[in-house]
Amino acid sequence: MSELKELEKKEAAFAFGKKERKLLTDPLNDNNPITVQVLGICSALAVTTLLDKALVMSIAVVFVCAFANLIISVLRNSIPKSVRMIVQLVAIAFLVTVVELILKAINYPIYVELSVFIGLIITNCIIMGRLEAFAMANGPWKSFLDGIGNGIGYGIILIIVAAIRELFGKGTLLGYTILGDWYTPNGLMVLFPSAMFVIGILIWIHRSWNRNLIDVS
């Protein structure tokens, strides 16, 4: 009987029901890190000049956010409250180092362009916020899903902003000419201020489309 109960607990711990699906889908819409929580704006300004850089950054953030949540959730009952933020930073720094080494080995040119910004993932407020608000209070499975959801929610906005900026700023996407010779690239779109305008417009569109977000500050 005890073995059966133990098995049921393990199955429940890795269940994928309505609550678990919400952890993945909520950050894509109702609780998006950028357009709703208005977090992670700094990296959205810096790495969205080209779509390939935004894709790499998005994958890196999903990986770090998911596994940092997992690690901190597993250790949460053993971490003294007085040093919890230091432990969180160490976990993130370890994962960021793994990302840097992998990226350096796979695609060195992109690593050179993103090395500074990849390092700044350590202080990304989205990741730190999820560790403090969710991973410290929930089990490993739910924390892992929450990390994936928030990472993807962040990455989607990054990719949209980068696609718009590269398309209208250079007339290309992933280096391939899209708009042709008839289009004169708009140099303003590759400057950092343009990202703020694009993000602002996305926030406006998102809140106009989702009426539940009208009163969200």
Q: What is the pLDDT of residue 4?
A: 44
What is the DSSP-derived secondary structure letter of residue 177? Answer: E
What is the DSSP-derived secondary structure letter of residue 186? Answer: -
Alpha helices, H only, 80-214:
84-106, 108-119, 125-130, 140-170, 192-209
Q: What is the pLDDT of residue 99?
A: 92
CA distances 5 to 2, 11, 17, 130, 196, Å, are 5, 10, 19, 31, 53
Q: What is the pLDDT of residue 69?
A: 95
Q: What is the pTM of this model?
A: 0.88
Angle at 41 between CA 145 and CA 73, to 5 degrees: 25
25 by DSSP, 3-state: which? helix
Q: What is the pLDDT of residue 189?
A: 87
- Distance between CA atoms of residues 192 and 197, nearest Å: 9
Q: What is the pLDDT of residue 217?
A: 54
Beta carbons within 8 Å of 77's beta carbon, 6+ residues apart: none
Beta carbons within 8 Å of 74's beta carbon, 6+ residues apart: 140
Instruction: Report mean pLDDT in 10-residue bins for the chain, 217 residues.
Output: 51 70 89 86 80 91 95 91 90 93 89 82 85 90 93 93 92 85 86 87 88 68
Q: Which H or E run contains 172? A: strand 172-173
Structure tokens of 56? 């790499």
Evaluated on CA atoms 99, 101, 102, 106, the torsion sign reads: positive
Angle at 69 between CA 132 and CA 78, to 5 degrees: 70
Q: What is the pLDDT of residue 82?
A: 87
Q: What is the pLDDT of residue 115?
A: 78
Structure tokens of 32? 């998006």
- Distance between CA atoms of residues 163 and 173, nearest Å: 7
Q: What is the pLDDT of residue 9?
A: 56
Q: Which H or E run contains 61? A: helix 51-75
